[in-house]
Amino acid sequence: MKKELTYTFIALFCFLGFANAQRHEIGVQLGMSNLVGDIGRTNYVLQKPVGSVSDNGLPFYGGLLYRMNFNPYQTVRLNLGFSNIQFDDRYAKENYRRMRQLRGTNSVFSADLLFEYNFLPVNDEQISMISPYIFGGISALYMNGSKPELTINSASDVLVNYRKENTFTMGLPFGIGLKYKFNYNWALSGEFTFRPTFSDKVDYSAMEEGDVRVLQTSLDEAQTAAVVQGFVQQRNVGNPNSKDWVNSATLILSYSFGRPPCYCK
């Protein structure tokens, strides 16, 4: 029993020593958001504002991050962010999109768990250093969804009302960046994040029959199902096999604290 307690205290001591030896980093992240989907422009970064700023806001990304630097090169990172994304066919390069003139906005909340690798030991103890880095991981996204409610009076008379309903999806973020450490504890980073999602509904361009709610109908069940199917086929635009991307170009200001990590050789 005493031997088991001794091993337990040794393990606990080693764990606490390891935990205290980590170097922590917190920061704020600001920049521009960008949607690559079936509506609007198809550029991957640097989205220009569309329409009226008072009506649509700005293509904005804002967030908080936490880094745990395990050694001078490797970091595990948690991001909590908000993206206001915009999409407007009038600004697209493709003629068929400009003629279609669909547009809209969406609000996307994201939580990213990332592994970050620096090519130079920027997380070591020095006054300043600069290093490029790459990162990748997994993302959870919570966003606005649009679901129709139909009132069917006849086969050719369908009234549509859209209701907002929040929806959840996953993503696989990855990207590149450049980190400049200065004054021992401060760092300024710039990065491009590419976030392919598992959803084709970020721009409301895809819909399933299960998303449609029939409020009232004068038709029988088979006729109603045919109207719903036709509505979904007419409503969907773009390639259903191509999922939406929620990207960003951002700057990060971060501060390191805690005991310096013990990089054992």
Do the domain assignments include residue 88? yes
Query: Does position 119 have pLDDT exceeding 90, yes or no?
Result: yes
Q: Which pLDDT belongs to residue 232? A: 86
Tokens of 248: 């960003």
Q: Which pLDDT belongs to residue 195? A: 96
| Domain ranges, residue 118 | 23-145+166-203+242-257
């592994």: which residue's tokens? 115
Do the domain assignments include residue 234? no
Backbone angles phi, psi at 15, to 5 degrees: -65, -45
Do the domain assignments include residue 217? no
**pLDDT over 90 percentage in the chain:** 41
Tokens of 1: 């029993």
DSSP one-letter string for 116-158: EEESS-TTSSSS-EEEEEEEEEEEEEEE--EEEEEEEEETTEE
- The residue that leads in pLDDT, 229 or 26, is 26
First to last CA, the chain: 35
Q: Which pLDDT belongs to residue 40? A: 81
98: CATH: 2.40.160.20
Q: What is the total count of domains within the chain?
A: 1
pLDDT digits (tens, 9 = 90+) for 225-234: 888 888 888 8
Do the domain assignments include residue 40? yes
Do residues 226 and 1 make contact, with C-beta atoms less than 8 angstroms apart?
no
CA dihedral 194, 198, 200, 202 (to 10 degrees): -60
State the alpha helices, DSSP H only, in 21-137: 53-56, 95-100
